[in-house]
């Protein structure tokens, strides 16, 4: 079983590598990540580098989160790229890889994401609200960024009282 990688692990700041071969290895990785996500209280998404892997892949499901107003259910996206962002909203975020802090992060309110599914088929996803925020959070991970890198100053960081 894979383990969650936490700060200050250098792997969290590395840029992920594009997936070229869509085989059993990538499907197994996604399956394990989905299991971890669903077994972790408050977790709505995981990027591959959060479990010590270099593949450009994230899993996400915000359907059970109280802030969710619309969603696509379980998303598994390989080689994701955000191609359009609209609006801005600042909200509190947390992360499995930064267990002791939350932070106020400004992100787009809606977006268009392209990528591939586990079979290599192209995807295009329009998302808004909390799901769009979570997608941006996971895509940031794959680019080597944590939410704490997006916080505008130390006054916007907060000690976590409990993990969701």
Active-site residues: which are they?
Answer: 138
Q: Which of 106, 89, 100 is nearest to 140 (CA)?
A: 106
Neighbours of 113 (CB within 10 A): 21
Q: Which residues pair with 111 in a beta bridge?
A: 85, 127
Query: Do β-strands 89-95 and 45-47 pair in parallel, antiparallel, or remain unpaired?
Result: unpaired
- Give the integer Cα–Cα distance in Å for 29 and 122: 19
Helix (H) or strand (E) holding 25: helix 24-39
**Tokens 């990688």, located at residue:** 5
The strand order across the sheet containing 110-116 reads: 45-47, 57-60, 75-86, 110-116, 122-128
135 CB neighbour count, 10 Å cutoff: 25
């Amino acid at each position: 079983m894979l383990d969650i990688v936490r700060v200050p692990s250098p792997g969290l700041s590395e840029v992920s590598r594009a997936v070229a071969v869509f085989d059993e290895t990538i499907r197994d990785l996604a399956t394990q990540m989905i299991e971890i996500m669903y077994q972790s209280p408050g977790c709505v998404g995981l990027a591959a580098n959060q479990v010590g892997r270099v593949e450009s892949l994230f899993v996400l499901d915000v359907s059970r989160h109280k802030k969710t107003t619309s969603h696509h259910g379980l998303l598994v996206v390989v080689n994701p790229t955000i191609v359009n962002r609209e609006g801005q909203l600042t909200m509190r975020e947390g992360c499995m890889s930064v267990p002791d802090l939350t932070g106020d992060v400004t992100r787009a309110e809606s977006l268009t994401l392209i990528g591939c599914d586990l079979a290599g088929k192209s995807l295009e996803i329009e998302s808004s609200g909390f799901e769009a925020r979570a997608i941006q959070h996971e895509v940031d991970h794959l680019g080597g960024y944590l939410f704490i890198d997006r916080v505008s100053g130390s006054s916007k960081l907060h000690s976590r009282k409990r993990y969701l």
